[in-house]
Structure 1
């Protein structure tokens, strides 16, 4: 723009402001001047046309009606963006829901600002259906900014893409004449602020992987994977994709796929479908035991690795991959790189000793189960069973949602003694290591070598415990709720457990027991590359 052109535009805008001030004579002071500048900016923008935008911006504005654009964008992120994409999609949609509620149910009703008059806006730019709600603040801009900010809190790259769309939607609301610029700016600021507020309920995970020390004994360095035997649980990941990729990454490694009986194996092994038997067979000949699957498969492999005293190579190929996520193993390439370089860490394992006779002997005289992530009694095992009953028909995530509704409706508390104290609980959660954040639902572990059990309990003996729990979660005050208890321990004894109460161990439902002892003690060597980061 030339200097003359700039001065000409400046004079036009100044004249518009002066005219608006004259009309705002009944509204003196700062508020009157702000309204005048807002009206003038609207009028100035209405007089400037961009040919390509006359069709594109109205179409973009319509696509954001009822947050349809953001739902489609979130679906795309969840399907193609991996774990980070799913988190970004969830936070983005949660931010939109919060911003939309506050904007439409509170702010618009309080402000009641009329929409701009459309006389100055060319008809080609106008929306086919004009909004009927009040103008301040812009709900579209609030939702757009909330979605982009929520996504950016989880992923900068996805947030940048969402930000471009959000900026286009915000601009379109002024360009089509349905909002003053001030409405859009206020809406965007409100939406971004409310997205930031979601951190109170759902804090971000740190970028650095969980701490775990390097073992004092040197682990094998296997440049081409010779000596590695990997058992691939094909049912846990994308069918047919994991094994071929592992053969590319570690060409000398032996890859055993669950469901295909390996040469020389026991012919009575039902085609190799018994995962633990496959892992034992692999560990007997391996320098390094590898497992590709989800948390349940990795749990089984950790127990076998401890039994055979071999290092463990974890290839994340499940749906949630909690253990691999805390380790910073997001891709198959991460673990392969660690195996080739001989880089590993020492990770805590929690053990569960069960006894059905009430004659509780020392753990050394039992065959304990292990868990790497979590153990629980209460509603979670029921939720896992409900999900498994439905996921074959409708998929894992829809089954989880349907199962949650059913379980919460029909759930009953579990009675037991916790370290000798009689309790009635909706949920008893034990984590292998202290989870963060404190006072919220467990999300991640900063340390995989702290020797602690994270103990969280929802007390069913308190009046209206479920209702109070939900209210505390929604208000972000769970840490101060009287129905919720959180502490740490190095061991815990559970006795007189209510008959029929199942257990959930690393996401897998197991039969219950009359009494249990959970403790920390042993550690397993797991390959992890230096500088590993979470997704």
Structure 2
């Protein structure tokens, strides 16, 4: 034991000598980008530089938004660890600055401890967090992070070892975010092939695409450019705020070989109802805010859909079916492509989507959950004959991943199963335990949360008044009783073949006309 301590002490002393020697060499080195590096180092104070980068990423489309949110989450965790317990434990003094040229030095002396570097930890955490969700965007971010980390040695406030330790801590903090903010896989969900059901449409002849101008950010000029360039014989119908989306879809379905829809999941739900009823294939063009169904299909943009239509490549996917009695005691039947929900879940989705555009899915989910628990009362139901007091009921069309309170994606679209998740309100301190489980990533072990795979579920109101009900995020009238099960019929949807490099081919179609739609 004593010998091990002596070896550790010898190693530490050798490391400190080498670290100090390397710092002195850099201090005596020739000027490099003066005074750019000192200004960059100052810009990263309190993470302000990374908040600015996150804002720029969040203003774009695709995976860069959740990447920015993960980067900020990792930055927060790394900053707390590096500037709190780590500095207190190691208590290393700052390096002497008398050998640093005056032009490089910061305007004020730092009084905190040196090891590890909080700036390096924040930079590495943010860059790694971005890389986990958007590797393409991470390349320039990583270069900027490395420059910030180097600048801390260059301006004389950290030893090189401080920076390396901070970077390692930051990478670790970013990797830990996957425990509470799971990553969506790059591989599309599995589905049964259905190419014989979907005709190839040269230049889009026989296709009508209904574009919901209200979906997403409301600007679909890039999408329209791709449609006109690559599918010149397709009919494109733009539906404005004052127009009837359902009527436009019905007219298009009656007059076309293939029904196309450009919009979010609510628009796709309406189109799926008609395509299933008419027995026609559906072409989906992602144009919403989140595009959950398109993401599960593996459609990164309009180019992927174009490639599938031109080649006649399609898959057969399951739909969920909800049959019930409404608040007015009228019978109704609906299908859904993603999820159905009861209770406060529709309101939670609305709150989440309001913040998700800026913060990403997981932070927005936490905000939405807290809002629902504070403002929505629990309700009494019978689930398959068992009386329960609950806050939320989620039913997914297929098994969703990950487990817990943020169902994000499916690995299969053809398994004819339902994912039932219930948030119980009867347990003691249910609110506190629920939020604690979500924040720690241990919700699956909490008594207030239940999740199971079912083939059918019967839900009835056990209180005065109907239950709020939503399909694919679209709130409908309340229900008194509802049976949810997989639909007996499958929906035929265009999707590029995987073995032909679908994602790359689709993106090539979009870029070929100078219109990026991802």
TM-score, normalisation: structure 2: 0.89
Q: Measure how far apart 1:218 and its partner are.
A: 3.6
CA RMSD after TM alignment: 2.4
Q: Measure how far apart 1:215 and its partner are.
A: 1.8
Among 404, 415, 420, the residue aligned to 2:380: 415
Q: State how 1:445-484 maps to structure 2 within 5 Å.
A: 445-484=410-449
Partners of 2:352 and 2:66 lie apart in 1 by: 20
Listed one character per residue, the Cα deviations across residues 198-243 of structure 1 (whole Å, up to 9, x for unaligned) are 1111222221100011127342110111111111110104435133
Q: Does 1:84 align with 2:63?
A: yes
Partners of 1:396 and 1:177 lie apart in 2 by: 39
Q: State how 1:225-304 maps to structure 2 within 5 Å.
A: 225-237=204-216, 238-241=218-221, 242-259=223-240, 273-304=243-274
Partners of 1:357 and 1:76 lie apart in 2 by: 45
Partners of 2:473 and 2:326 lie apart in 1 by: 23
Partners of 2:110 and 2:490 lie apart in 1 by: 62
Equivalent position of 2:514 in the other structure: none
Equivalent position of 1:318 in the other structure: 288
Gaps of 5+ in 2: 1-7, 505-517
Q: Are residues 285 and 121 of structure 1, via their aligned partners in 2, closer, same or farther at CA, if it must alter by over 3 Å?
A: same
Q: Does 1:505 align with 2:485?
A: no
Preserved CA contact (<8 Å) 1:497 1:515: no
Among 29, 37, 40, the residue aligned to 2:18: 37
Matched residue count? 487
Q: Does 1:527 align with 2:494?
A: yes
Partners of 1:28 and 1:482 lie apart in 2 by: 48
Q: Are residues 485 and 403 of structure 1, via their aligned partners in 2, closer, same or farther at CA, if it must alter by over 3 Å?
A: closer
Listed one character per residue, the Cα deviations across residues 222-269 of structure 1 (whole Å, up to 9, x for unaligned) are 011111111111010443513343222211111111139xxxxxxxxx
Equivalent position of 2:166 in the other structure: 187
Q: State how 1:46-195 maps to structure 2 within 5 Å.
A: 46-50=27-31, 52-80=32-60, 82-195=61-174
Q: Measure how far apart 1:437 and its partner are.
A: 1.6
Q: Measure how far apart 1:491 and its partner are.
A: 1.0
**Greater relative contact order: 1 or 2 (C-alpha under 8 angstroms, separation 6 or more)?**
2
Partners of 1:319 and 1:339 lie apart in 2 by: 23
Q: Are residues 346 and 355 of structure 1, via their aligned partners in 2, closer, same or farther at CA, if it must alter by over 3 Å?
A: same
Q: State how 1:435-454 maps to structure 2 within 5 Å.
A: 435-439=400-404, 441-454=406-419
- 1:105 alignment partner, SS class: helix
- 1:217 alignment partner, SS class: helix
TM-score, normalisation: structure 1: 0.86
Partners of 1:395 and 1:470 lie apart in 2 by: 18
Q: Measure how far apart 1:46 and its partner are.
A: 0.7
Gaps of 5+ in 1: 1-26, 261-270, 361-365
Partners of 1:154 and 1:102 lie apart in 2 by: 23
Partners of 1:249 and 1:211 lie apart in 2 by: 27
Preserved CA contact (<8 Å) 1:352 1:519: yes
Partners of 1:339 and 1:94 lie apart in 2 by: 40
Equivalent position of 1:6 in the other structure: none
Partners of 1:170 and 1:439 lie apart in 2 by: 36
Listed one character per residue, the Cα deviations across residues 403-422 of structure 1 (whole Å, up to 9, x for unaligned) are 66643421211210001101
Partners of 1:174 and 1:133 lie apart in 2 by: 15
Preserved CA contact (<8 Å) 1:358 1:515: no
Q: Are residues 373 and 395 of structure 1, via their aligned partners in 2, closer, same or farther at CA, if it must alter by over 3 Å?
A: closer
Among 167, 172, 187, the residue aligned to 1:208: 187
Q: Measure how far apart 1:190 and its partner are.
A: 0.6
Task: Pick the structure with greater CA Rg.
Answer: 1
Q: Are residues 403 and 101 of structure 1, via their aligned partners in 2, closer, same or farther at CA, if it must alter by over 3 Å?
A: same
- 2:196 alignment partner, SS class: coil
